[in-house]
Structure 1
């Protein structure tokens, strides 16, 4: 199996995020990628450097104004009087504001509130380049899948919480969605996304909400007790032409391997029925029992069994790295997952 990684991931160094009213050190650290590279090395996989991501591939998912903001905002922020070290919004437009004609003007703080969903996606000087290079890894993995193979993309920062024009939850560009669009352009008539990160893939759901050519399946912690809080319920089935092409499988707190694997099996059945030509897997290790938040309590053996079940679809696949924040263990979890996939 080929893998792709880029040293630019180290340029993104977020410091803080707010959790339960406390300012906490950010979980999305450079050591995550280093641990994942260790997992690849243990499998004897030397990741390749991907070609640069074409702007057109990014604009297939994200509008130009959003991309320009991510690229240009740090310099505009630095020009403010007494700015902090990274961009964090102090207000978001509410539905009442928007209903009464409110909109973002040119000020960087206005656009920051408009283009971010929360305080968990601080933007620093290296965030844009790291995000574009992560997208390049996703595109390279999709290129392999378009040829009938499976490949792994070490994407840091991750992406599945990013909507078309709104970053959130440690995510800036939606790498999985970018991979989907690349597969569609390469000729796949139907693409399925299987998101097994412990958090709902809300951005991916939002991007493909009205699409019948993309099935989005997410197995995640119940949003009544877990981020992203407002979406991820089973009743959300898509809209317009996409009605019935979104499947959410929320799970209870610390439900463990059996419930998680059963939900994945339900998702796999939906993917088979959909008749997908290719698969994008949003792979998060934050479902692990050893994670800082530990919402789902999945074991290492559970991840290996998941890989075995997913690979049994026999679909070309782009495996896109999402979350997973225990830097002491995520390398071993990647080794278990890809090792089981390779044996399938």
Structure 2
């Protein structure tokens, strides 16, 4: 399986986030992607290729133009105020406040275009966002060109980014971009299967009113887990999208027995939908020792995930999302891909 990877992600580094009431170094750190790349090389997964260049046209198919413009300008606007720490929001337009007027101040814009304080900006953040986006599209072109599967080693991740907001370490929704790109290239239906511990709220929001993209999420119950305000089982789609969104929330402590059963249910739904291609939001923060998650999957479980997805018999694009137990992330993420290939 070919892997698309760009070292440009390293420019998004040294950022901070708010966690547990404290400002801490970001859990979404550069070494994550380096461990995955190294593991792919070590097991001989396949060629590791650089991304091609793309315009932002594909991003604008799923994201608002003003939001994408903001992503490209956020750091420069922040630095222009004389600050050179991580640009983080501190105020949000919650219920009772106005969100119909785009503000001018960078401090206000950070809150206007975000859902939390987990997607900060540094000097190289936009470069990394662009390279992650191009990584996903390059891998998608491989699948469109006839590859059975390809792996987009994206960093930063994307599935928490909605049509006009960032958050949860995510800025451009790479999986959603790829799904829309497949449709624009002639696919009739696309399924997004999100196996990250945290609900892919951004992907759900983008496609919630549509029937040409089925979105399936297996994740921690939002009653107790981030992103808290989306991901419940009764969210099944709206309007033309009714019945095309499936959430499978699970409680803290879930191990392979129940998680594997949820994967089976999700894969059956994908098979019934009969898409032309599957986009897998590949998060491995379901691991038993992940520092910010609470499932109990073991390293031996990850090849089983890939093997079950392979049984769908469909062209498949894997897009890297979360996973923060960095010493194990490479073995676990690549384990899914090895399982897909029957190794």
Give me the TM-score of the superposition, normalised by structure 1. Answer: 0.96
CA distance in 1, matches of 2:280, 2:126: 23
Q: Is the 8 A contact 1:146 1:188 kept in 2?
A: no
Offset at residue 68 of structure 1 (A): 1.1
What residue number does 1:13 align with?
A: 13
Partner of residue 116 from structure 2, selected from 115, 118, 121: 118
**Range that drifts further, 176-185 or 289-298:** 289-298
What residue number does 1:34 align with?
A: 34
1:158 matches 2:171: no
SS in 1 for 2:178: helix
Q: Is the 8 A contact 1:14 1:123 kept in 2?
A: no
What residue number does 1:338 align with?
A: 337
Offset at residue 245 of structure 1 (A): 0.4
Matches within 5 A, 1:233-272: 233-272=232-271
CA distance in 2, matches of 1:277, 1:19: 40
1:58 matches 2:59: yes
SS in 1 for 2:326: coil
CA distance in 2, matches of 1:250, 1:26: 26
CA RMSD of aligned residues (A): 1.3
SS in 2 for 1:329: helix
Matches within 5 A, 1:67-216: 67-80=68-81, 82-98=82-98, 103-148=101-146, 149-216=148-215
Which stretches in structure 2 are left out of the alignment for 5+ residues?
Answer: none
CA distance in 1, matches of 2:132, 2:2: 16
Q: 1:37-63 CA distances to partner (integer Å, 9 max, x unpaired)?
A: 111112213310011122211111112
Q: 1:242-261 CA distances to partner (integer Å, 9 max, x unpaired)?
A: 01100000001011011111
CA distance in 2, matches of 1:264, 1:54: 35
Q: Is the 8 A contact 2:198 2:219 kept in 1?
A: yes
Q: Is the 8 A contact 2:282 2:333 kept in 1?
A: no
Change (3 A) 1:200 1:338: same
Q: Is the 8 A contact 1:237 1:246 kept in 2?
A: yes
Which stretches in structure 1 are left out of the alignment for 5+ residues?
Answer: none
Change (3 A) 1:19 1:213: same
What residue number does 1:229 align with?
A: 228
SS in 1 for 2:17: strand
CA distance in 1, matches of 2:319, 2:334: 15
CA distance in 1, matches of 2:97, 2:40: 48
CA distance in 2, matches of 1:237, 1:286: 24
What residue number does 1:281 align with?
A: 280
CA distance in 1, matches of 2:84, 2:123: 12
Offset at residue 83 of structure 1 (A): 2.1
CA distance in 1, matches of 2:31, 2:161: 22
Give me the TM-score of the superposition, normalised by structure 2. Answer: 0.97
Q: 1:185-214 CA distances to partner (integer Å, 9 max, x unpaired)?
A: 121100000000000000000000101000
Q: Is the 8 A contact 1:254 1:294 kept in 2?
A: no
Offset at residue 102 of structure 1 (A): 5.5
SS in 2 for 1:297: coil
Q: 1:80-131 CA distances to partner (integer Å, 9 max, x unpaired)?
A: 1x42512101100112112xx7623222122111111100111111111101
Q: 1:139-196 CA distances to partner (integer Å, 9 max, x unpaired)?
A: 1111122234210000000000000110000001000001101111121100000000
SS in 2 for 1:18: strand
CA distance in 2, matches of 1:328, 1:339: 18
Aligned residue pairs: how many?
Answer: 341
